[in-house]
């Protein structure tokens, strides 16, 4: 499926996307494939055309901190290509994916050859920087319960229209996945989710998480976090 108008292709026409992809060599890989490993000297850039990937880092203790999930079409690994530094994150596919692997020089040449692609990439980077700055503020400013509420609102924002009164995450992220996003232990996240369930705000099942009342949940978020968490 041609994804013109989305992600790094946001400023490209369908014909431009088709022409770009025709000139690249593509690889398919299953979920769980690790594209990038922290500390690696590799400077390859991946153009993800289908699928999604998680950007995370592991502490020496083994604890995983999830920065964000990225969805195709997007570039992955571009920072090391631009700076020449060691890799600072792990990137793992979360779904079957199709991607092209570029050298640092090839990545630079591709952007120079297509101003529309370069503009789309700048746009996606701007969104990513803003999202990560919000997450840093949230992690420092709020306790776990508030961080969980904000994260649930973020996930709902990505899953439904802004005027929706409820949201269903199916398949739902595991309690472990949520804990890596909010910077808490899985057991603490489970307790907080169960508390929200007792209040009638969420409904939990094995592979499904329903947010029953977005307005009530939004009212629990700190006032200065409501806009970035999807409020008005």
- Quick one: 132 and 151 in the same domain? no
Are the CB atoms for 30 and 98 separated by under 8 Å? Answer: no
Q: Which domain holds residue 160?
A: 143-225
Provide the CA 23 distance to its chain's centre, in angstroms. 27
- Structurally, the chain folds into a number of domains equal to 2
Q: Which residues pair with 204 in a beta bridge?
A: 209
Confidence of residue 63 (pLDDT cuts 50, 70, 90): confident
Pair type for strands 202-204 and 26-29: unpaired
Are the CB atoms for 157 and 217 separated by under 8 Å? Answer: no
CATH assignment at residue 103: 2.60.120.10
Q: In what order do the strands lie in the sheet with 45-50?
A: 26-29, 97-102, 45-50, 74-76
- Closest-CA residue to 209 (of 170, 165, 159, 156): 170
Secondary structure class of 1 (helix, strand, coil): coil
Return d(Cα 93, Cα 194) in angstroms, integer: 29
CATH assignment at residue 179: 1.10.10.10
- Quick one: 162 and 185 in the same domain? yes
CA distances from 210 to 49, 79, 168, 194 (A): 30, 36, 4, 13
Look at residue 226 in the predicted model and tell me its pLDDT.
53
Q: What is the mean pLDDT of residues 176-204?
A: 91
- Quick one: 12 and 102 in the same domain? yes
Q: Model-level pTM? A: 0.81
Are the CB atoms for 51 and 93 separated by under 8 Å? Answer: yes
Tokens of 205: 């099942």
Return d(Cα 44, Cα 110) in angstroms, integer: 13
Q: Is residue 232 part of a domain?
A: no
- Quick one: 128 and 173 in the same domain? no
Q: What is the mean pLDDT of residues 169-198?
A: 90
Higher pLDDT, 207 or 21: 21
Q: What is the pLDDT of residues 103-162, one digit of tens each?
A: 999 999 999 999 999 999 999 999 999 988 888 888 889 999 999 999 999 888 877 766
- Quick one: 125 and 164 in the same domain? no
């Amino acid at each position: 499926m041609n994804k013109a108008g989305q992600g790094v292709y946001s400023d490209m026409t369908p014909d431009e996307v088709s022409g770009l992809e025709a000139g690249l060599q593509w690889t398919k890989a299953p979920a769980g494939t690790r594209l990038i490993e922290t500390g690696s000297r590799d400077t390859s850039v991946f153009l993800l055309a289908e699928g999604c990937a998680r950007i995370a880092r592991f502490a020496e203790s083994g604890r995983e901190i999830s920065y964000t999930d990225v969805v195709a079409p997007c570039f992955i690994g571009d920072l090391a290509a631009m700076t020449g530094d060691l890799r600072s994150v792990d990137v793992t596919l979360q779904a079957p994916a199709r991607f092209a692997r570029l050298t640092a020089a090839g990545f630079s040449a591709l952007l120079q050859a297509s101003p529309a692609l370069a503009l789309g990439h700048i746009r996606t980077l701007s969104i990513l920087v803003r999202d990560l700055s919000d997450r840093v503020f949230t992690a420092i400013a709020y306790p776990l319960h508030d961080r969980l509420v904000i994260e649930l609102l973020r996930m709902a924002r990505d899953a439904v229209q802004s005027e929706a009164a409820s949201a269903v995450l199916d398949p739902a992220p595991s309690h472990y996945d949520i804990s890596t996003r909010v910077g808490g232990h899985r057991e603490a996240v489970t307790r907080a989710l169960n508390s929200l369930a007792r209040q009638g705000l969420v409904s939990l099942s094995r592979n499904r998480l329903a947010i029953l009342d977005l307005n009530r949940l939004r009212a629990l978020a700190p006032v200065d976090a409501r806009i970035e968490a999807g409020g008005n």
